[in-house]
């Protein structure tokens, strides 16, 4: 008999090969991190059998856990190092931040839905990742108390990159965020802080994310 853990591990290895390596994920740390984090611990019970499918899955509150490939792509764009301090906006299931925590040193993540923050904390505790802090709040303002960050990853889409987030990047730091309309898809944007006053921006293609709701994002009333 194959145990559930063994089965999930096989599927995880297959996911890394077919969904990541066979596409354009080359960063060894990113491939290793997605090969370690048990995604089944971050999806609702009813969806566990689909934990390694090539798609986002519902996690409640109208939100989703991102497709594994998108988590890998954003983490690769963030160019994380072992001594980095990282901020994620939009904890959701906690999966994305769990992946980042296997590469970086200290990871902070902000979530606006109390229920999601709570269940993400529970999942992170279950897997025993203790370099992650889940904080309840509006991520569009970032986390000024803990800035600067070597990388900021926003997993919800806004009309533009909030200035507060750019200002909280260390010089040389990277920010990754979906930017564009509220529905119908967005562009995945990578920002690099060149010096105190200048930033470089690159477009990494079409993506589809849930909206970032907050002071420097979309307003609550517009929420779907």
Task: Write out the catalytic residue numbers.
Answer: 66
The kind and range of the H/E element at 114 are helix 114-127
Q: Considering only residues 68, 139, 142, 162, which one is a binding residue for ligand SAH as defined by CB under 6 A?
A: 139
Piece of the chain touching ligand SAH by CB under 6 A; list 21-29, 32-40, 76-84, 136-144:
136-144
Residues 152/168, Cβ–Cβ less than 8 Å = yes
68-77 vs 28-36: helix crossing angle, rounded to 10: 140
Total of residues contacting ligand SAH (CB under 6 A): 25
34 CA to centre of own chain: 12
Asked whether position 138 contacts ligand SAH by CB under 6 A, the answer is yes
Q: How far is the CB of 3 from ligand SAH (least distance, A)?
A: 26
Q: Residue from 113, 121, 182, 193 that binds ligand SAH (CB under 6 A)?
A: 113
Q: Does residue 217 interact with ligand SAH by CB under 6 A? A: yes
Q: Least Å distance between CB 150 and ligand SAH?
A: 18
59 HSE (CA, 13 A, CB side): 28
**Residue 50 DSSP one-character state:** G
By CB under 6 A, residue 157 contacts ligand SAH: no
Binder among 76, 101, 119, 140 for ligand SAH (CB under 6 A): 140
Using DSSP bridges, classify how beta strands 57-60 and 63-65 pair: parallel, antiparallel or unpaired. antiparallel
By beta-carbon distance, which residue lies closest to ligand SAH?
Answer: 92
Shortest Å, Cβ 73 to ligand SAH: 13
Q: Which is nearer to ligand SAH, 171 or 214 (CB)?
A: 214
Q: Evaluate whether 198 touches 140 at the Cβ level (below 8 Å).
A: no
Q: Is 47 exposed, middle or buried (0-12, 13-18, 19+ CB in 10 A)?
A: middle
Beta strands in the chain (DSSP E): 57-60, 63-65, 85-89, 106-111, 132-136, 149-154, 169-179, 186-193, 199-207
- Select from 31, 100, 110, 191 the one that contacts ligand SAH (CB under 6 A): 110
Q: Rule CB under 6 A: which of 44-103 touch ligand SAH? A: 63-66, 89-90, 92-93, 95-96
Task: Give me the residues that bind ligand SAH (CB under 6 A), please.
Answer: 63-66, 89-90, 92-93, 95-96, 110-113, 116, 138-140, 155-156, 210, 212-214, 217
């Amino acid at each position: 008999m194959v145990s559930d853990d063994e089965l999930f591990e096989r599927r995880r290895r297959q996911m890394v090969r077919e969904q990541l390596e066979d596409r354009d994920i080359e960063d060894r740390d990113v491939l290793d991190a997605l090969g370690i984090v048990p995604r089944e611990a971050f999806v609702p019970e009813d969806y566990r059998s689909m934990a390694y499918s090539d798609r986002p899955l519902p996690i409640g509150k109208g939100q989703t856990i991102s497709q594994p490939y998108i988590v890998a792509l954003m983490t690769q764009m963030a160019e994380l190092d072992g001594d980095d301090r990282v901020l994620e906006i939009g904890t959701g299931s906690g999966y994305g931040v769990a992946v980042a925590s296997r590469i970086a040193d200290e990871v902070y993540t902000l979530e606006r839905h109390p229920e999601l923050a709570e269940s993400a904390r529970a999942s992170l505790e279950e897997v025993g990742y203790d370099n992650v802090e889940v904080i309840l709040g509006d991520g569009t303002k970032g986390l000024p108390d803990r800035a600067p960050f070597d990388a900021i990853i926003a997993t919800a889409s806004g009309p533009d990159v909030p200035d507060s987030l750019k200002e909280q990047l260390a010089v040389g730091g990277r920010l990754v965020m979906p930017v564009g309309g509220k529905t119908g898809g967005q562009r995945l944007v990578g920002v690099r802080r060149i010096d105190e006053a200048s930033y470089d921006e690159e477009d990494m293609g079409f993506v589809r994310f849930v909206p970032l709701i907050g002071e420097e994002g979309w307003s609550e009333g517009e929420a779907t």
